[in-house]
Homo-oligomer: A and B are copies of this chain.
Amino acid sequence: MSSSFGTLFRVTTFGESHGGGVGVVIDGCPPKLPITIEEIQRDLDRRRPGQSAITTPRDEPDRAELLSGVFEGQTLGSPIAVLVRNTDARPSAYEDFKDTYRPSHADYTYEAKYGIRNWQGGGRASARETIGRVAAAAIARKLLASTAKVEVLAYVKQVWTITADIDASAVTLAAVESNAVRCPDAGAAAAMIARIDAARRDGDSLGGIVECVCRGVPPGLGEPVFDKLEADLARAVMSLPASKGFEIGSGFAGTTLTGIEHNDPFTAAGGRVRTLTNRSGGVQGGISNGEDIVFRVAFKPTATIRQAQQTVDRQGQAVTLEAKGRHDPCVLPRAVPMVEAMALLVLADHYLRQRAQCG
């Protein structure tokens, strides 16, 4: 069950970074939803490395193929399988690491768990695995937009110590895509890009924070207990490579407020119940209240760097690791579509669950 996500909009990814390919099977998508391979490809292109000078240089065309589940431009209600071939298989590039555990990678833990790993790359720990998630989320996006008018938008909020000033309720996709770092605050974006360039030159890497806003989510999505909307969102984004933290609404900062400062007063506006503030982040008691859902994800600095590092090999001998070649000094811009993807998968699933139980 490790590779499946969701109860009713159920996604199963497969594939290692090296081997035949990576992909996804989406089971439970409603029928008669219009979808084209171009719409899927568009989202895949956003998460692709090598889109700009600041991101990873690996050239991945990532051409998606629809194997099933769509007929004459519409979903059939049957499983939708999407395949992206691996084309950049250069196992020799990894030959040097074959017996070495790269620090803060999954090399050691995979071996500890399985007694075997595909050393020709990161295996399932590779960011390539998220291709399947993003492809599936392109369909979830279509479903949510067509039925519930939901819009999900993520962006870079912080890189290293540089924090952007962004109004979650007003930010647009165009603003996000207006620069290479996907930070809609132009001043902060420029500083971030400069810092990322410096990190590349140093052979070092940077982390940061991605913020995501979900607009138009109807009240009533989410479940009271274990499957609270924030719980499922947390699990979803904490399953992305390099994520180390999640917070919704007031988050960690909210812990320093008192109750009277934190509670969101209710009001009636436009014929429906609203809150005057949104420290709840759009979710109360695990269920959406109709306000914007706003959450943040912390990403550590990428583990792959070019500086020399101390580690051990499979025999437990101390070795010094010095990675060659180019590296991606900051995963944040590419993490943006991944975070969106996970939010879309959670919302699509809860949309169908709500339809099942509450009609």
**Digit string of A204-230 for contact with B (CB within 8 Å is 1, else 0)?**
111111000000000111111111101
Please report the C-alpha to C-alpha distance between residue A7 and residue B116 in the assembled complex, in whole angstroms.
23
Contact B117 A76 (CB under 8 A): yes
* Nearest-CB residue, chain B, relative to A345: B226
Number of A residues near B (Cβ < 8 Å) is 155
Contact A286 B16 (CB under 8 A): no
Contact A231 B225 (CB under 8 A): no
Contact A14 B68 (CB under 8 A): yes
Is the C-beta of A170 less than 8 angstroms from some C-beta in chain B?
no
Question: How far in angstroms is the closest Cβ of chain B from A293?
Answer: 12
Given contacts A258-B204, A266-B312, contact A125 B12 (CB under 8 A): no
Contact A4 B285 (CB under 8 A): no
Number of copies: 4
Tell me which residues across on chain B come within 8 A of A246, comparing CB atoms.
Answer: 234, 238, 245-247
Tell me which residues across on chain B come within 8 A of A354, comparing CB atoms.
Answer: 113
Given contacts A78-B16, A109-B219, A226-B5, contact A254 B118 (CB under 8 A): no
Query: Which of A42-50, A182-190, A297-305 binds B?
Result: A297-305
Contact B358 A356 (CB under 8 A): no
Contact B108 A284 (CB under 8 A): yes
Please report the C-alpha to C-alpha distance between residue A199 and residue B226 in the assembled complex, in whole angstroms.
30
Is the C-beta of A149 less than 8 angstroms from some C-beta in chain B?
no
* Nearest-CB residue, chain B, relative to A310: B265
Please report the C-alpha to C-alpha distance between residue A207 and residue B132 in the assembled complex, in whole angstroms.
39
**Digit string of A266-298 for contact with B (CB within 8 Å is 1, else 0)?**
111001110110011101111111100000001
Contact A115 B32 (CB under 8 A): yes
**Digit string of A161-202 for contact with B (CB within 8 Å is 1, else 0)?**
100000000000000000000000000000000000001001
Please report the C-alpha to C-alpha distance between residue A112 and residue B229 in the assembled complex, in whole angstroms.
15
Please report the C-alpha to C-alpha distance between residue A246 and residue B298 in the assembled complex, in whole angstroms.
10
Contact B81 A15 (CB under 8 A): yes
In-complex Cβ contact of A12 among B15, B25, B207 (8 A): B25
Contact B258 A205 (CB under 8 A): yes
In-complex Cβ contact of A114 among B77, B118, B256, B352 (8 A): B77
Given contacts A27-B3, A220-B113, contact A68 B15 (CB under 8 A): yes
Contact B310 A267 (CB under 8 A): yes
- CB contacts under 8 Å to B, within A300-345, are 300-305, 307, 309-312, 316-318
17 contacting pairs across A/B (C-beta < 8 A): A4-B27, A12-B12, A20-B66, A23-B81, A28-B356, A28-B357, A77-B113, A77-B357, A103-B275, A108-B266, A108-B284, A124-B224, A204-B258, A230-B238, A232-B235, A254-B300, A352-B357
> Can you name 4 extra interface pairs (CB under 8 A) apart from A4-B4, A245-B252?
A207-B262, A231-B235, A250-B300, A352-B357
